[in-house]
A and B are shown apart, each in its own frame.
Chain A
Amino acid sequence: MSPRATVALLALLAAAGTAVAWARRRALATRAGRRFFGHPAAAWALRVLVFFSLAAALAPLVAPYDPGAQPAIVTLQNAAPSWAHPLGTDVYSADVWSRLVYGGRVSLGVGLLATAIALSVGVGVGATAGYARGWTDALLMRLVDVGLAVPRIFVLLFVVTFWDRISVGALVLVIGLTGWFTTSRLVRAEALSLRERPFVEAARALGASPARIVWRHLLPAAAAPIIVSAALSVGNVMLLESGLSFLGFGVQPPTPSWGAMVADGQGQLATAPWTSFFPGLTIALVVMSWNALGDALRDALDPRPEVS
């Protein structure tokens, strides 16, 4: 690896470590922060996520090689890990580490964007149904029932099969639009209970419009379960995307994606296991980190008072 890339890698590790240490110090001053870092996996989850997020964001600086470059097609194909290629090379003779870094852009990007879409729709529908009640609520919840009844993977496969060479953007949209149903149920439940609180009644007495009440009073109070749901959803979406890409339906080559990389390495599992192993390990690590983050956040943001 070039010295620049080596330095970049070390800098990333250092950055992840210090960022988490700094966040931890500030968080320990608050009760929620202490509960969060009380989780043994929370700090590690944060480190992993910060590391890969930074790597993906700064991919051009971090990756030692251009992921599309194929310098020496024959000699470098499926080369074992070495100093020049710390994670080896794959079937395309491209550096695995570089592809991993660039692949992170897609995988993490899809995860975050699709979750953002799902969250927006889910929160909007759930809050409206929970606050309005009556016919609006009944209608929206029947829609949600239908959405929950249909298996998500089935719908996704259906769509991508008929959509020839789906673009990443469209993929994000489809995954997002099939994943908002559970969130809406969650937000609706919160809205139903929060609308009876005295401060919401006070806002109505002041003349606040329903939109204002939902936006300014209900949603901030419901933030905790929404945040937790979001964290868990990202991991879920990343798994979905990886699965689709693995099957060849998701992100299309030459765009790198961790799932696609696992698929690419299938053919040489016996001879060059690192080509599937490292992307697979990365997927597992990052998804587990999102889940651990979600768990820790759930405990940290839990509104129940501490048992004294």
Chain B
Amino acid sequence: MSALVRVEGLVKHYPARRGWLTPGRAEVVRAVDGVSFDIAAGRTLALVGETGCGKTTVGRTLLRLVEPTAGRFTFDGVDVFGLGREPMRALRRRMQVIFQDPSGSLNPRMTVGDAIAEPLIIHRLATRAERPARVAELLAEVGLDASFAPRYPHELSGGQRQRVGIARALSVRPELLICDEPVTALDVSVQAQVLNLLRDLQQAHRLTYLFIAHDLAVVRNVADDVAVMYAGQIVERAPVDRLYGAPRHPYTRALLSAVPVPDPGAARNRIVLSGDVPSPLSPPAGCRFHPRCPHPLKSERCAREVPELRDFGGGQQAACHFGEQPM
């Protein structure tokens, strides 16, 4: 069965302005530098990484909110990056997005009802008479009462706003939903409610999710497959149980060990990385993680040779020269 989503060699470079005192080549911010993955219909792929790894940029390029520098995105056989304006608008019905900031992504001057109805108007999915009923239906699906329709975003809590955002995205009955850090800005108890809601909706509508996040515990709860990003590239990709049970890449291991566990008795073997995430203007040569890598077998090969994503069986791939001997 061919995947619903197929991304190949996605690249996004931003031109960085040269300082006027430093002439020379124009610098390039390598936000995304060669990312490939597949998502089968009905599954959830989580894209995980820390600030600056490029995961949010991946989401935005797939939606063509920013145009990619290179790469190919095939959605149900359609080459998305090659579409013209009108076909692209039509395609937007099939892929939608939920943003991280629930208050920012809703127009503060539009009522909840208007915000949810907007996609219905844009894509002509309901007549004027039908809209209120449809909006009430969608509100109910996300667990909100129809009385929310005339309210404004500032009257709602963070969790409620996020539900409105979800209702808005669902109004066009998409097949793919890109969730860009949907629960990061929410309190823990609200986060649980929204995660449960996303799970229920996926089952009810057979949705496919690209779930972008940095919280590994959340990702473990929602994902079927996980791809770990670092400095614009995918360093490890595996089904969720394999990634959490037997990570191969040193960065994945460090990331997992750094997640605080809500259990005072749990053993804490924290791998504390030194230094900071590399600048996307000048990533290290060879393996981008090598300056911070705590792997005991790290050698000058890591500084010289870029590791490719290699297969380790069971659908797990990692980009490390020493993946066979994890730390």
Which chain B residues in 217-266 approach chain A with CB under 8 Å? none
State whether B92 touches A198 (Cβ < 8 A).
no
Residue A206 lies at the interface, judged by CB distance under 8 Å to chain B: yes
Using Cβ atoms and an 8 Å threshold, which residues of chain A touch B108? 199, 221
Query: CA–CA, A209 to B90, complex, Å?
Result: 12
Using Cβ atoms and an 8 Å threshold, which residues of chain A touch B101? 198
State whether B89 touches A207 (Cβ < 8 A).
yes
Which chain B residues in 151-209 approach chain A with CB under 8 Å? 165, 168, 172
Interface 9-mer from B31-39, B116-124, B306-314:
B116-124
Using Cβ atoms and an 8 Å threshold, which residues of chain A touch B110? 216
Residue A21 lies at the interface, judged by CB distance under 8 Å to chain B: no
B194 to chain A minimum Cβ distance, whole angstroms, is: 17
A133 to chain B minimum Cβ distance, whole angstroms, is: 14
Using Cβ atoms and an 8 Å threshold, which residues of chain A touch B96? 205-206
Query: CA–CA, A209 to B92, complex, Å?
Result: 12
Residue B321 lies at the interface, judged by CB distance under 8 Å to chain A: no
Residue A142 lies at the interface, judged by CB distance under 8 Å to chain B: no
Residue B19 lies at the interface, judged by CB distance under 8 Å to chain A: no
Using Cβ atoms and an 8 Å threshold, which residues of chain A touch B123? 207
Query: CA–CA, A209 to B63, complex, Å?
Result: 15
Of all chain B residues, the one with the shortest Cβ separation from A223 is B109
Of all chain B residues, the one with the shortest Cβ separation from A204 is B65
Residue B104 lies at the interface, judged by CB distance under 8 Å to chain A: yes
Residue A208 lies at the interface, judged by CB distance under 8 Å to chain B: yes
B side interface size, CB within 8 A: 24
Residue A25 lies at the interface, judged by CB distance under 8 Å to chain B: no
State whether B118 touches A198 (Cβ < 8 A).
no
Using Cβ atoms and an 8 Å threshold, which residues of chain A touch B105? 198-199, 201-202
State whether B107 touches A207 (Cβ < 8 A).
no
Residue A217 lies at the interface, judged by CB distance under 8 Å to chain B: yes
State whether B168 touches A206 (Cβ < 8 A).
yes
A187-210: contact bitstring with B at CB < 8 Å (1 yes, 0 no)? 000000000011101111111110
State whether B122 touches A199 (Cβ < 8 A).
no
State whether B122 touches A198 (Cβ < 8 A).
no
Which chain B residues in 103-152 approach chain A with CB under 8 Å? 104-110, 118-119, 122-123
Residue A4 lies at the interface, judged by CB distance under 8 Å to chain B: no
A249 to chain B minimum Cβ distance, whole angstroms, is: 43
Residue B322 lies at the interface, judged by CB distance under 8 Å to chain A: no
A side interface size, CB within 8 A: 17
Of all chain A residues, the one with the shortest Cβ separation from B101 is A198
Query: CA–CA, A170 to B148, complex, Å?
Result: 50
Using Cβ atoms and an 8 Å threshold, which residues of chain B touch A199? 104-108
Neighbour of B99 across the interface among A202, A208, A209, A217, CB < 8 A: A202
Using Cβ atoms and an 8 Å threshold, which residues of chain B touch A26? none
Of all chain B residues, the one with the shortest Cβ separation from A200 is B107
Using Cβ atoms and an 8 Å threshold, which residues of chain B touch A204? 65
State whether B92 touches A201 (Cβ < 8 A).
no
Using Cβ atoms and an 8 Å threshold, which residues of chain B touch A217? 107
State whether B107 touches A206 (Cβ < 8 A).
no
State whether A201 touches B109 (Cβ < 8 A).
no
Using Cβ atoms and an 8 Å threshold, which residues of chain A touch B89? 207, 209
Using Cβ atoms and an 8 Å threshold, which residues of chain A touch B122? 206-209, 212
State whether B118 touches A208 (Cβ < 8 A).
yes
Residue B93 lies at the interface, judged by CB distance under 8 Å to chain A: yes
Residue B97 lies at the interface, judged by CB distance under 8 Å to chain A: yes
State whether B97 touches A205 (Cβ < 8 A).
yes
State whether B109 touches A207 (Cβ < 8 A).
no
Query: CA–CA, A207 to B63, complex, Å?
Result: 10
Neighbour of A207 across the interface among B92, B99, B104, B165, CB < 8 A: B92
B135 to chain A minimum Cβ distance, whole angstroms, is: 15
State whether B93 touches A198 (Cβ < 8 A).
no
Query: CA–CA, A198 to B168, complex, Å?
Result: 14
B35 to chain A minimum Cβ distance, whole angstroms, is: 20
A206-233: contact bitstring with B at CB < 8 Å (1 yes, 0 no)? 1111001000110011000000000000
State whether B99 touches A198 (Cβ < 8 A).
yes
A249-282: contact bitstring with B at CB < 8 Å (1 yes, 0 no)? 0000000000000000000000000000000000
Interface residues of A (CB under 8 A from B): 197-199, 201-209, 212, 216-217, 220-221
Interface residues of B (CB under 8 A from A): 63, 65, 89-90, 92-93, 96-97, 99, 101, 104-110, 118-119, 122-123, 165, 168, 172
9 A-B pairs with the lowest CB-CB distances in the bound complex, closest first:
A198-B104, A207-B92, A202-B105, A199-B107, A198-B105, A207-B89, A206-B119, A220-B109, A205-B97
